[in-house]
Every structure is written in structure tokens, then in C-alpha cells.
Amino acid sequence: MSEKWIIDDLAAALDQFEAAMQVAPTSDLIKAGCIRYFEFTFELAWKSVKILSEQTGLDPGGSPRSCLKTAFAQGWIDDESLWLEMLETRNRMSHTYHAKEALQVYDRLSHFTRPMRTLLDALRIA
């Protein structure tokens, strides 16, 4: 796979995200760090789908949503609605300027690590 670097970057980011989620959320600073790790990992996830899709001759489009639809069609993800929730969460973080509102997404982050790991595993064998 000539684009192995993106898979390696996604794996490293996911490892960091999972490790961050293991830290007790004793402060808003810890929660904010976990949210940031999520955002970074999500970006690498959809961009990995885009690059690997293009490498295999597919046209996933240029948006995260279209790439997630391609990943679902390829069987790389199995819960499209959860991935669309992740996209919505990432989009909300990009347009939320109140810390209290942003920190409310922390409680959903634990639901996102396993699907990301499943995608990573699927992309490694794609």
C-alpha cells in the first residue's frame, strides 16, 4: 500500500485518543484534550477513507459525508449512523464558541473509539 503513512498516522492518533479517554475527567482541561484528540482522529479517519478509496479506483467525493458513505458501501464501517453522529459532533466543535457547550460532547466520545478501531483494522487489509 503506497499510502501506508496515512494508516500509520491514523493508528497513532487513535492510540492517543484511546489513551486520553482512559484518564479520569477530573477537569475541563482533560475533557477538552479528549475532544481535541477526537477531532484530530476523526479528520485522519475520513481522509484515510478518501485516500484509500481513490487508490483502489473509487471516487469517494471530497466531503467527509461522501467518504463515510463510501466506507459504509465498502464494508469498512458497519454503523453509518454512528459515523454521521461523529461527523455532526466534529462539525459542532468547529462552530461552537462556548466552552460549556463544547464540553457537553465529552460524554459521547467513549462511543467513538471502537468504531474508529474497526475502521482502522478494515483499512489495513483493504
- Residue 32 burial class via C-beta count within 10 angstroms: exposed 0-12, middle 13-18, buried 19 and up: middle
**pLDDT truncated to tens, each residue of the chain (126 aa)?**
457 899 999 999 999 999 999 999 999 999 999 999 999 999 999 999 999 999 999 999 999 999 999 999 999 999 999 999 999 999 888 776 677 777 889 999 999 999 999 999 999 998
Say what the pTM is. Answer: 0.93
Rg (CA), the chain: 14
Instruction: Please report the pLDDT score of residue 1 as a whole number.
Output: 45
Q: How many Cβ atoms sit within 10 Å of the Cβ of residue 117?
A: 15
* DSSP secondary structure code for residue 63 in this structure: S
In sequence order, which residues have a C-beta less than 8 Å from that of residue 50 and are 6 or more positions away? Answer: 60, 62, 67
Instruction: Output the nine-digit C-alpha cell for 68.
Output: 463515510
Give the C-alpha separation, 96 to 16, whole Å.
24
Domains delineated in the chain? 4-125 (1.20.120.330)
CA-wise closest residue to 32 among 95, 88, 86, 101: 101
